[in-house]
């Protein structure tokens, strides 16, 4: 015990299979294991605004989708506190104090921020808020005393930044904040699931995703048009499984029992891979199998989504209740922080 688990997602779109294998699935596992004192899952709308300031309507619509995604995958409001970042203003206050502990050069060196600046074509017009988001993330994490943060591997530099802030703060003002640890999937590929187009990362921004809320028909259409090994032209040709997203997705989702159920020519993925590499397995067959495997995962999620979609008021109630609770916890940290900094003048 003594574990506090926390993670969030940006409401810039719906959640996809990349989120699922990179972070959501670890959260579910942690929830089921129950080896924690508190678990927080939040919708990071303040962070989403750092690159979507001109499109708040996207954030509003996505917030509802992300909340539905959480409940659909089986995160349980009785075990998890859900909250909305902007509704906990204590987080912004903490951010302001932490900003004095980090240099501009340090922010500019953050490899994830660097690659996102490129991806978003900010060039020299980087919003201050965007560059600052790793600090705001440190506020989110430390406000709840989080010890474990289940994330994809693009988030490792953010957790490192948060740890540095905790160390500087504690060093300057006395032991106050807790150092968090990232929890990334053991299999490296799962920490960064590639896109349908074979690009390095499935990402909302790149539009190469299978969404958790996609219909069965959409999933089929997307899987059947996926990028595979471009040199595997004829069925007899030897194929590459290593950076072939179809096989990487199978690795993320397939269980031996799926072979029994849908493709009993093989006992497991290794056998299928070996055959594909030798030549003699057609892409269409593998894709059809992958579609069936993904459906095994998505079908129950769809069912739960249909349930919650007819109870939207209840969904917002859950967010509201969770936010209240989260605010209480964050206020306590803010109080401790101000006391440590000796700016608690009226106490």
Residues that bind ligand ATP (CB under 6 A): 9-10, 12, 18-19, 21-23, 151-152, 154-155, 191-193, 201-205
CA–CA separation, 251 vs 57, rounded Å?
A: 36
CB of 78 to ligand ATP, least distance (A): 23
- Residue 125 to residues 99, 117, 250, Cα–Cα distance (Å): 20, 9, 40
Nearer to ligand ATP, 19 or 258 (CB): 19
Q: Would you say 300 and 310 are in contact if contact means Cβ atoms under 8 Å apart?
A: no
Nearer to ligand ATP, 157 or 282 (CB): 157
Nearer to ligand ATP, 27 or 329 (CB): 27
Can you read off the two tokens belonging to residue 175? Answer: 């032991």
CB of 281 to ligand ATP, least distance (A): 26
Nearer to ligand ATP, 137 or 340 (CB): 137
- Residue 239 to residues 193, 222, 249, 255, 269, Cα–Cα distance (Å): 20, 21, 16, 22, 14
Tell me how crowded residue 303 is: count the other CB atoms within 10 A of its CB.
10
Nearer to ligand ATP, 20 or 276 (CB): 20
CB of 32 to ligand ATP, least distance (A): 19
Nearer to ligand ATP, 51 or 283 (CB): 51
- Sheet containing 4-9, strands listed edge to edge, beginning at the edge strand earlier in sequence: 81-84, 38-43, 4-9, 148-150, 181-183
CB of 73 to ligand ATP, least distance (A): 13
Would strands 181-183 and 81-84 be described as parallel, antiparallel, or unpaired? unpaired
CB of 329 to ligand ATP, least distance (A): 21
CB of 7 to ligand ATP, least distance (A): 6
SS3 83: strand
Q: How far is CA 213 from the centre of its chain?
A: 16
Nearer to ligand ATP, 5 or 151 (CB): 151
Backbone dihedral angles phi then psi of residue 213, each to the nearest 5 degrees? -100, 5
Nearer to ligand ATP, 89 or 157 (CB): 157
Evaluated on CA atoms 172, 174, 175, 178, the torsion sign reads negative
CB of 278 to ligand ATP, least distance (A): 30
- Residue 164 to residues 5, 158, 277, Cα–Cα distance (Å): 19, 10, 45
Nearer to ligand ATP, 13 or 322 (CB): 13
CB of 155 to ligand ATP, least distance (A): 4
CA–CA separation, 318 vs 191, rounded Å?
A: 29
Q: Would you say 99 and 139 are in contact if contact means Cβ atoms under 8 Å apart?
A: no
CA–CA separation, 179 vs 254, rounded Å?
A: 35
CB of 198 to ligand ATP, least distance (A): 13
């Amino acid at each position: 015990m003594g574990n506090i688990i926390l993670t969030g997602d940006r409401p810039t779109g719906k959640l996809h299979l990349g989120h699922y294998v990179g972070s959501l699935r670890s959260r579910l596992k942690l929830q089921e294991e129950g080896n924690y004192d508190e678990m927080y899952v939040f919708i990071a709308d303040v962070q989403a605004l750092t690159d979507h300031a001109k499109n708040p309507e996207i954030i509003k619509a996505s917030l509802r989708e992300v909340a539905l995604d959480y409940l659909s995958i089986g995160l349980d409001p009785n075990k998890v506190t859900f909250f909305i970042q902007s509704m906990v203003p204590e987080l912004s206050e903490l951010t302001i104090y932490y900003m004095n502990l980090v240099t501009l050069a340090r922010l500019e060196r953050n490899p994830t921020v660097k690659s996102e600046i490129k991806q978003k074509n900010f060039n020299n017009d980087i919003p201050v808020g965007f560059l600052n988001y790793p600090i705001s993330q440190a506020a989110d994490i430390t406000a709840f005393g989080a010890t474990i943060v289940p994330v994809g591997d693009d988030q490792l530099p953010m957790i490192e930044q948060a740890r540095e802030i905790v160390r500087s703060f504690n060093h300057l003002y006395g032991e106050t904040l807790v150092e968090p640890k990232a929890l990334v999937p053991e299999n490296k590929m799962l920490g960064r699931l590639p896109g349908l187009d074979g690009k390095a990362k499935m990402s909302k921004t790149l539009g190469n995703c299978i969404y958790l809320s996609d219909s069965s028909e959409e999933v089929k259409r997307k899987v059947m048009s996926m990028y595979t090994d471009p040199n595997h032209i004829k069925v007899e040709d030897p194929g590459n499984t290593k950076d072939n997203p179809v096989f990487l997705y199978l690795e993320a989702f397939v269980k031996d029992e799926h072979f029994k159920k849908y493709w009993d020519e093989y006992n497991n993925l290794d056998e299928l891979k070996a055959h594909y590499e030798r030549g003699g397995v057609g892409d269409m067959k593998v894709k059809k199998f992958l579609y069936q495997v993904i459906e095994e995962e998505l079908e129950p999620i769809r069912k739960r989504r249909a349930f919650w979609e007819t109870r939207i008021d209840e969904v917002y109630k859950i967010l509201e209740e969770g936010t209240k609770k989260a605010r209480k916890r964050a206020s306590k940290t803010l109080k401790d922080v101000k006391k440590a900094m000796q700016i608690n003048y009226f106490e």
